[in-house]
A and B are shown apart, each in its own frame.
Chain A
Amino acid sequence: MSAKSDDAQENARELRCRVLVAGVGGGGGNVLGHALAGWDEPPTVAAINTDVRALDATAIGLKVAIGRTVAKGMGTGGDAELGRLAANEDLDALRALVSGHDLLLLVAGLGGGTATGAAPVLARIAREEGLLVLAYVTLPFAFEGARRQEQAQEGLADLKQSADAVVCLPNQRLHALLPPDTSLPDAFAFVDRMMSAGIRGLWTLLARDNMLNLDFSDLQSLVENSGNECCFGYGEGQGPGKAEQALRGLLEGPMLEKGRVIANSGAMILSVTGGPDLSLAELETIHRRFQEAARPGARISMGAAVLDGWTGRLALTVLAAEHWIPPPKPGTLLMEAGPDAPAEEPAGRRRKNVQQSELQLGGANDRGRFRDVAPTIVEGADLDVPVFIRRGIRIPS
C-alpha cells in the first residue's frame, strides 16, 4: 500500500461514513481513473485486477493483484471462471481491503473475465465483513459480441445475489444521449464519465460534512429494500436556470426513460452538487419536481453538497429503487428534505446484522425464511407469506 492511499484512508476514517470505492477489472479501473482526475479529496480507491500491467498503468494508488497463480499476472483472456478463481485465490487480501469500511461502491464493466468473475466474490466478502455493497456496473455494447453479452448477464445475475444492490448502467439508454456519429473511444469515455459522476455524487454526500447531509441509514434502507436493483440517473446544468436544466435532462432524458423510472420507484435518493451559489429555492424546486414525478407515498431522500469551483454549475444524481419493498417499520427512515433538516450523525455506523434485526421484529415480517429471496407473487398474493396469515385465520385458535 502506498503512502498516498494510507493518507486517503486516514481521511476517510475521520469522516462520517467510511467509503471504499473499488474498481474490479480493466473497465472498473478506467472509470475510477477518470473519476479521480476531478476529485479533490478522494475516498479510499482501490483497483483490483488479474492483469499486473494494467494495474501498473492506473493512477489509482491502492492496487490489489489477484490470482497470481491461476492468471499469472496476465489477465483472464475474457474467461469469467478464471476471474472467479483468481478472486478466490486472494480472499484474504480482499477481506483485508474491505475491512474497516462501512460502504463498498464496487465498479465493474461486466463482460470482461476479471470483472464478471471476481466482482461477485468481492461483494460477498464485503457483505460478510458487514459492509453495505452497492455495485455500479456497465454492460457491454452490442457490438462487443454475444459471448461477452452472455457472460455479462451471468455476472449480473451473480452480482445481484452477492451485492446489496446493483446499479446497472444500460448502454442502450446512454446511446440515446450521444450524437449518432460519436466515435467509439468517445462513447466509452462518456460511459466512464456518467459512472464516475454517479459515484462521486453519492460519495460526496456520504463522506463529507455538507450543506444537507445524506444519512448512511437512508442509503442502507434504499439499497437493502431495493430488490437488489437500483436505477441511476445523472443530469447537469449551467448558468441561470441550472436546476431546471439538470431536472429537464434527468426527467425527460433517456437514462430514466423520460421519468418513467421515477414514476415507478418506491424510494429514491437525490444528491445535488453545486457551488457556493446553490440556493435553497433551487433545492426546493428539485425536491418538489421529484415529488410530483414520483408515485404517491414514494420516499425521497435528498442531500446537497457545496463544492468550491462549482459556481454557476449544478449536478443532480438520482438513485431510484423500482422494485422497492417497504421495510417492516415505516416512517423512521424517511428524511424530509428541507433547509431545516437536521444533519444527524447516524446512531450506528456499522451495518447491523440484518438477519438479527428482522428476527427481533417478530410478526412484522411474515415472509420468514424467504425474506431475502424474490417473492413469488401469483394473482396478487405473495405465496411466501403463510396462507393462514393471508386468510386471516387465527393460530393458535
Chain B
Amino acid sequence: MNIEPIVALEIGTSRVRVFVGEAREDGALMITAVGDAASSGMRKGEIFHFDSVCGCVETALRQAEEAADLKINEVYLALSGSQIEAQPSRAEIPVDGEIAQEDADHVLSMAKEVTLPADREILHSIFGQFAVDGLPGVSPVGLVGQRLAAEMLIVHGVHSRMVNLVRVVKALKLEMAEPLFSGLCSAQAALSADQKRQGALLIDLGGGKTDYVVYAQAKIADAGVLAVGGDHVTNDVARAFRLSTTEAEALKLQHGDAMVSAAGRTRRLPLPAAAGEAPRTAKLSDLQTIVHLRMEETFGLIAARLKRQKLLSLLGAGVVLTGGGAHLKNVAPLAEKVFGLPCEIGAPRNVSGLAANLAVPEYATGVGAVLHGYRSARAAAERSRSAWKRLAHWFGVN
C-alpha cells in the first residue's frame, strides 16, 4: 500500500506546529519531521490577528519542509477554541427480519442529522454504537430484530471561528485534508486501547484553551473546550505581581506549582524590577496559590460537567494530561485531588519509530492528527471496508 506522507498542522495559541508522518516499510507510522514556531496573533485558541498567524504558520511549514525534504501541499488541521462542544444523538428505525448493511447505513445517516443553532457547524460525527432491540454494542448486519438504533456523538463549534482557522490554510495556498478537533487528536495519540476501553478522561492543557475528551463504556462520551489555558495562569501571575506578560511567563515556567507547599511560605522569589526601582520579592506560596486556584477551577469546571452527565464514575483508567501545561509542577496530583481519580502525564504512544525527544505531552495533538490522517488514508486505500466500519475506526475504540 503506497501512502503519501501525512502532514498535520496545529495552530495553537503559544506554538504553531507541523508534523510530517510517513509509513515505514512494515506499515507502521514514523514521524519524520517537526516544524515548531512561536505563535502570535492567537488568543484563547482562536485567531486574533490573521496576518500574524499566517506568518507563524509559514515559518513552521518551512521548518518541516526543510527537515522532511518535501513540498507540503495538503494538511490535516487540528483546531480548537470555537466553543467546540459535543452532544449525543440517537436514531432508531424499524427493521423487518435480517438487518442489512443498508439498514445500518440508513440509521447512521439519521443519527447524524441534528439541529444546531444557526452559527454552529458539525466538525465530527463520531460513531458510538448500534443497538438491536435494545441490546447495545452489537454488530447489527446479519442479525435478526425489529428495531435498530444507532448512537453517535456530534462535535460542533462556532462556524465563523473555525472558518477563520481554515482560512489560514487557504491563505497559504494549501489544500485542506480535514479539520480535526485537537482534543480528539491528543486522545488518539496519548490514550492506549486499554485506557479507552476502561474509560478515561483526556485533558489537553494548551496555551489558550483546555480540551477534554471522555471515553466511557468503550466509546467517546463527551468532548469540548474550555477557553482557559496557560495564558490565563500567566495573566493571573502578571496581574498579581505587576509584571509584564514575558516576565510573568518566565516566573511561571521557573517556579510555577499547582500545589501550595509549606516551604513556599518562607521562601521568597526575586521579581524583575525596572531600572532605578527597589528590588522586589514575592512569596513562593503566593505564586503557588495563584496557579493552584486557576488550575483547580479549570479542572473543577470539567469535573462538574462530567458529574452532571454521570460520567465521572465510568473512568476506570483515570485522567491523562497532555499539552504544554502538563509540564506544570504538581499538576497531576492536583488533578487527582479534584477528580478523585488516578492521573498521569500522557505523551504520543501510538506511533512506532518515534524518537525519544518527541514523546512529550505537547506533541500529542500534532502526532494524533498525523495518526488520524494516516489511518484514514489507509482506510481509503482499503476500499473493501464499509462506511460504518471506517467511522468506527476513526476515533473509535478500534
Chain A residues packing against B (C-beta within 8 Å): 81, 153-154, 156-158, 161, 366, 368-370, 372-373, 376, 378, 383-384, 386-389, 391, 393, 395-397
Contacts and interface: CB of A to CB of B under 8 A. Distances in A.
A373 B48 CA distance: 8
B238 interface: yes
Contacts of A386: 232, 235-236, 239-240, 290, 294
Contacts of B289: 388, 393, 395, 397
A395 B240 contact: yes
Interface string B191-233: 0000000000000000000000000000000000011100110
Contacts of B46: 373
A186 to B, nearest CB: 28
A387 B46 CA distance: 22
A391 B300 CA distance: 15
B50 interface: yes
Interface residues of B, number: 37
Contacts of A393: 289, 293
Contacts of B143: none
Interface stretch (B61-69, B278-286, B334-342, B378-386): B278-286
Interface stretch (B72-80, B95-103, B161-169, B175-183): B161-169
B205 to A, nearest CB: 15
Contact of B232 (A384, A395, A397): A384
A340 to B, nearest CB: 42
Contact of A161 (B48, B226, B236): B48
A79 to B, nearest CB: 11
Say whether chain B's binding surface is mostly helix, strand, loop, or mixed: helix
B207 to A, nearest CB: 12
B285 A157 contact: no
Given A386-B240, A388-B240, A391-B293, A376 B235 contact: no
A64 B232 CA distance: 43
Contact of A383 (B163, B164, B228, B245): B228
B349 interface: no
B327 interface: no
A366 B240 CA distance: 10
17 contacts: A153-B159, A154-B163, A157-B164, A161-B48, A366-B239, A368-B235, A369-B43, A376-B44, A384-B232, A386-B294, A388-B289, A388-B293, A393-B289, A395-B241, A396-B240, A396-B282, A397-B286
B228 A376 contact: yes
B283 A396 contact: yes
Interface in B253-303: 282-283, 285-286, 289-290, 293-294, 297, 301
Contacts of A376: 44, 226-228
B170 interface: yes
A24 B127 CA distance: 46
A157 B235 contact: no
B227 A369 contact: no
B160 A153 contact: yes
A154 B166 CA distance: 11
Nearest to A397: B286
Contacts of A369: 43, 231, 235, 238, 245
A157 B163 contact: yes
Contact of A370 (B43, B49, B50, B285): B43
Given A153-B160, A388-B289, A158 B235 contact: no
A50 B235 CA distance: 43
Contacts of B43: 369-370, 373
A370 B235 contact: yes
A157 B160 CA distance: 6
Contacts of B301: 378
A370 B44 contact: yes
A177 to B, nearest CB: 22
Contacts of B290: 386-388, 395
A173 to B, nearest CB: 15
Nearest to A155: B160
B226 A395 contact: no
Contacts of A391: 293
* Of B239, B285, B293, most A-chain CB atoms within 10 Å: B239
A388 B236 contact: yes
A81 B231 CA distance: 32
B254 to A, nearest CB: 18
Contacts of A397: 283, 285-286, 289
A153 B167 CA distance: 13
Interface string B39-63: 0000110111110000000000000
B85 to A, nearest CB: 12
A263 B241 CA distance: 41
B109 to A, nearest CB: 21
Given A157-B161, A383-B232, A389 B239 contact: yes
A369 B232 CA distance: 9
